[in-house]
Chains A and B, each alone.
Chain A
Amino acid sequence: MNSTWPLWEIFIRSQHGLAHRHVGSLHAPDAAMAINNARDVYTRRNEGVSIWVMKSADITASSPDDKAALFDPANNKVYRHPTFFPMPEDVKGL
């Protein structure tokens, strides 16, 4: 059965105010069933308040070969990282 079902990527928002996070993938014949299946596979222990699904085939991914060109230049520029500011301890979610 799974051989004809497309793969879906599942995103769950765990509580109000936080972004949806990728939690995994599953098979389903269409979006509505992907939501149902995601509910059963990924939210059984009260993990979420919202579910997004999208077809895995719709994702365009960067190529591992481009890793050096895409990511290395950021590493040696210390001024790009906001590490010089004191962080207020009471502010969550930063």
Chain B
Amino acid sequence: MDDALHPYVLRLGDNALVLSQRLGEWCGKGPALEEDMALTNVALDLLGQARMWLSYAAELQGDGADEDSLAYHRNAPEFRNLLLVEQPNGSYADTLVRQFFFDAWHALALRELGRSSESRVAGIAQKAAKEVAYHLRRSSDLIVRLGDGTARSHEMMQAAVDNLWRFTGEMFETDAIDAAARAAGAGFDATSLRREWLAYVGEVLETGTLRMPPPEAWMQKGGKQGVHSEHLSRLLAEMQVLQRTHPGAKW
């Protein structure tokens, strides 16, 4: 097993997989047909990215694992996704703000990973970056529209921003796994990324007349190390039930 890269690639795959599953919960229930399809498109993009990352993680793991065994036969503590992406959908405002915070980080992270000297990571990141550029354009647009919309939409968006802010710090936390991946040519400088993220997010929120909470606020963390909120177990229960009940079931 490639210890330097495997857990790092797993984190990237789990972020995409868990957020994709969350967005999939909106399928058929979006506030408008057009929004429903747009959000489901984002979910499908992320699912495609999750497959690429998890397939690579399975190769690095090398014990007969594949993308499906990683997606369906791990328990919550073995998942390495950010706490942000496992948060419940809540209202459409909560879903959009969660998406916006993640997209803004995702676009920057993929840009950096696309420059990796590790060629598989660079290849997947470059492919995903095109999709995520659109995700970010769309979520930024909706933040501005709903933030600067009606009094009610503004209030809901601000509440979502304030509520989800504490999950944004984890995106820029670094540990031994990040350091090892960086040494292997596949990481990025989280500190400079954080500066860029704050500048971009601050600008969009301001355009949408929304108040950005203080960057130095207390931040929740642990998802990257496998310490998750109760929400992830329920998400996994729904996502994994078929493969857990009928292992290896195929269409």
Residues of A within 8 A of B (CB): 1-2, 5, 26-29, 32-33, 36-37, 39-41, 44
- Which residues of B from 134 to 156 have beta carbons under 8 Å from A? 134, 137-138, 141, 145
Question: How far, in Å, is A28 (CB) from chain B's closest CB?
Answer: 7
From B31, B34, B137, B145, A37 is in contact (CB under 8 Å) with: B34
Instruction: Please tell me which one of the listed residues B33, B137, B138 contacts residue A26 in the complex, with CB atoms under 8 A apart.
Output: B33
Q: B17-61: contact bitstring with A at CB < 8 Å (1 yes, 0 no)?
A: 000000000000001111001100100000000000000000000
- The answer on a CB contact under 8 Å between B37 and A41 is yes
Are A36 and B138 in contact, with the CB atoms below 8 A? yes
**In the complex, what's the smallest C-beta–C-beta distance from B43 to chain A, in angstroms?**
12
Q: Are B41 and A40 in contact (CB under 8 A)?
A: yes
Task: Count CB-based A-B contacts (< 8 Å).
Answer: 33
Listed A/B pairs (17) with beta-carbon separation below 8 Å: A2-B32, A2-B33, A27-B32, A27-B34, A28-B34, A29-B145, A32-B141, A33-B141, A36-B38, A36-B138, A37-B34, A37-B37, A37-B38, A40-B41, A41-B33, A41-B38, A44-B41
A-B contacts besides A5-B32, A36-B141, A40-B38, 5 pairs, CB < 8 Å: A2-B32, A2-B33, A28-B34, A37-B34, A44-B41
Interface of B is mostly: helix
* Contacting residues, chain B, for A33 (C-beta < 8 A): 141, 145
Q: When chains A and B are docked, how far (Å) is the Cα of A14 from the Cα of B138?
A: 23
Residue among A1, A27, A28, A40 with most chain B CB within 10 A: A40
**Which of A26, A32, A44 is B34 in contact with, Cβ under 8 Å?**
A26
- Residue in B33, B138, B141 whose beta carbon sits within 8 Å of that of A27 in the complex: B33
Closest to B138 in A: A36
Given contacts A1-B32, A5-B32, A27-B32, contact A40 B37 (CB under 8 A): yes
Residues of A within 8 A of B33 (CB): 2, 26-27, 41
Alpha-carbon separation in the docked complex, A5 to B145 (Å): 14
Query: Which residues of chain B come closer than 8 Å to A37, judged between CB atoms?
Result: 34, 37-38
